Amino acid sequence: MSTSPSRWVPALRENPVLSGVPEEQLQWLAGKLEYLQLQEGAYLFEKGAPLDRMVIILKGKISFIQEQKGSSRVIQEIESGAITGALPYSRASHANAAARASEASELLMLKKEFFREMILEHQQLVEVLVHIMTSRVREFTKSQQQSSKMEALGRLSAGLTHELNNPAAAVARSAEVLKEQLQEMPAILEELLRGESISTAFREVQQLLSSLNNKQAARLSLMEKTSLGDSWEEWLKKRDIDQARTLAESFADYPVRPEQLPSFFQEEQNKEKLQALLQWLKYMLSLQKLSQNIQHSSARISQLVNAVKAYSHMDRSTEKETTDIREGILNTLTLLNFKLKKKNIKVEEAIAEDLPEACVYAGELNQLWTNLIDNAIDAMPEGGKLRISAAQENSSLKIEIEDNGEGIPEEVQEQIFDPFFTTKQVGEGSGLGLDIAKRIVDHHEGKLTLDSKPGATRFTVYLPL
């Protein structure tokens, strides 16, 4: 729908963005504009559509929407007076998000074909629009960096919940079993203490417990454990012990062999006394294993909490600070461990023990390692291999992150650091991870390079010391 150009001059004059533009230039602009009405919910353009015109919002509200993993979210909203779409000197050729009217809207549009004339003859108007473009780029960059941080935080939070749940559940289970067994212990001790002294048994059992190695239990194969259980069952049945199979399985779990039993057990002839002794030994072994489970699980929780503390503490600072690069990478691996385990990925770490500290923006490097390692995990098949190395090279730190995924096609490698470019499936990536990684390295006056072929993709980060 076209309308008399003079109608738009007052609206342009009242637009605060165009307040400094001379009247004759507003007259020229009004003469080239086209008018468009959009009903609520109607699209101005879809994602990927050519950006072939500038848009001035006369009335209403426009929402910019991105879709990812099957869901959509509003990333920006603009209202009356805002200018969007194509702008002079902008290199953007296609929309990176869909634009939809949040309410009934009226728009004025200038086709891109008039930009050359505007640049040659209407300098003040061009200056205003270029200022809009630079402000838009600055705000968009800031928004996308924050969005990328939140996405990374979301991934880490999901993994951390999973990682904490396992040791926390193990502590809870062990504590419950420990409570039950402690409640049963008095009855066992009462039976043992009836009659003769058992100080020798206490001493010999303590020696047995001290000699056991839980790592040995972890190394037993299923066949070895079954064989050990059969040996125990045979030994117990010869002595007419009740619940022989249950006791046999318990002893095979630790593992204890019949010949390791203290002499006190071997020589005891009274069935009831021997039954009580074996039951007591089972509880003692169980208590030792439960306490070790609690210790191991608590240590794992502490490790995760410390990793999060270090990761989040470093993200608070906006100034450069002397930072342990090795610790930052290892903390990131700890927080992404859930994804590594999910795909059964083997990590080979070759970070020099004497790697010098560097003065860096620590929070930005957290995001750099997260983006590069997370991308590598996504690129690898089940059972893949991730290799991370770091060493000093002349006056720089050289950090390499390599995966054995299918690689990045040679014809798109030059675009890999471009904003919104992604090799992932539609909806699986924003195309900003490597763009942000490149800008972080540039901010440190470093260098980020890519070398990729099938089975070996390596990103190399150089950070000046």
pLDDT for the residue numbered 429:
44
Task: Report pLDDT digits (tens) over 386-438.
Answer: 999 999 999 999 999 999 998 888 888 787 776 655 655 543 444 456 877 88
pLDDT for the residue numbered 459:
94
pLDDT for the residue numbered 319:
72
pLDDT for the residue numbered 282:
82
From the list 292, 267, 297, 287, the residue with the least C-alpha distance to 206 is: 287
pLDDT for the residue numbered 33:
93
pLDDT for the residue numbered 5:
63
Among all chains, which residue has been given the structure tokens 């490698």? Answer: 413
Rounded distance between C-alpha atoms, residue 333 and residue 4, angstroms: 63
Higher pLDDT, 253 or 347: 347
Q: 5-121 belongs to which homologous superfamily?
A: Jelly Rolls (2.60.120.10)
Give all strands (DSSP E) within 167-325, no chain letters: 321-323
Which residues, at least 6 apart from 106, have a Cβ–Cβ distance to it below 8 Å? 35, 36, 37, 38, 57, 58, 59, 60
Which residues, at least 6 apart from 301, have a Cβ–Cβ distance to it below 8 Å? 164, 167, 168, 171
pLDDT for the residue numbered 361:
84
Rounded distance between C-alpha atoms, residue 29 and residue 11, angstroms: 12
Cα angle for residues 31, 7, 32 (degrees, 5° grid): 15
Q: Which range (123-137, 245-259, 304-318, 361-375) has the least confidence?
A: 304-318
Structure tokens at 341: 């385990």
Q: Is the pLDDT assigned to residue 1 strictly greater than 50?
A: no
Rounded distance between C-alpha atoms, residue 100 and residue 81, angstroms: 16
Q: Is the pLDDT assigned to residue 465 strictly greater than 60?
A: yes
Q: Identify whether the C-beta of residue 107 lies closer than 8 Å to the C-beta of residue 55.
A: yes
Q: What is the mean pLDDT of residues 285-300?
A: 74
| DSSP-based helix, strand, coil % in the chain, nearest 5 | 55, 20, 25
pLDDT for the residue numbered 250:
81
The top-scoring range by mean pLDDT among 80-94, 302-316, 395-409 is: 395-409
Q: What is the mean pLDDT of residues 373-386?
A: 91
Rounded distance between C-alpha atoms, residue 137 and residue 90, angstroms: 10
Nearest-10 Cα torsion for 299, 335, 340, 68: 150
Among all chains, which residue has been given the structure tokens 């869909």? Answer: 98
pLDDT for the residue numbered 391:
93
Residue ranges of domains in the chain: 5-121, 156-299, 316-464
Task: Report pLDDT digits (tens) over 195-219.
Answer: 455 566 666 666 766 666 554 544 6
pLDDT for the residue numbered 436:
79
Give all strands (DSSP E) within 311-431, no chain letters: 321-323, 346-351, 358-360, 385-393, 396-403
Which residues, at least 6 apart from 305, have a Cβ–Cβ distance to it below 8 Å? none
Confidence of residue 194 (pLDDT cuts 50, 70, 90): low
5-121 matches 316-464 in fold: no
Q: Collapsing DSSP states into helix, strand and coil, what is residue 437?
A: helix
Q: Percent of the chain having pLDDT more than 70?
A: 74
pLDDT for the residue numbered 318:
60
pLDDT for the residue numbered 320:
81
Q: Which range (149-153, 282-286, 305-309, 438-442) has the least confidence?
A: 149-153
Q: Identify whether the C-beta of residue 263 lies closer than 8 Å to the C-beta of residue 274.
A: no
Q: What is the mean pLDDT of residues 240-250?
A: 86
pLDDT for the residue numbered 427:
39
Q: What is the mean pLDDT of residues 445-450?
A: 92
Report the CATH number of the 316-464 domain.
3.30.565.10
Q: Is the pLDDT assigned to residue 150 strictly greater than 80?
A: no
pLDDT for the residue numbered 192:
59
Task: Report pLDDT digits (tens) over 91-146.
Answer: 778 888 899 999 999 999 999 999 999 999 999 999 998 888 877 766 666 666 55
Angle between helices 271-314 and 123-193 (to 10 degrees): 160
pLDDT for the residue numbered 152:
59
Q: Is the pLDDT assigned to residue 243 strictly greater than 60?
A: yes
Q: What is the mean pLDDT of residues 63-89?
A: 82
> Can you spell out the DSSP letters for 5-53?
GGGGHHHHHH-GGGTTS-HHHHHHHHHH-EEEEE-TT-EEE-TT-B--E
From the list 12, 11, 6, the residue with the least C-alpha distance to 122 is: 12
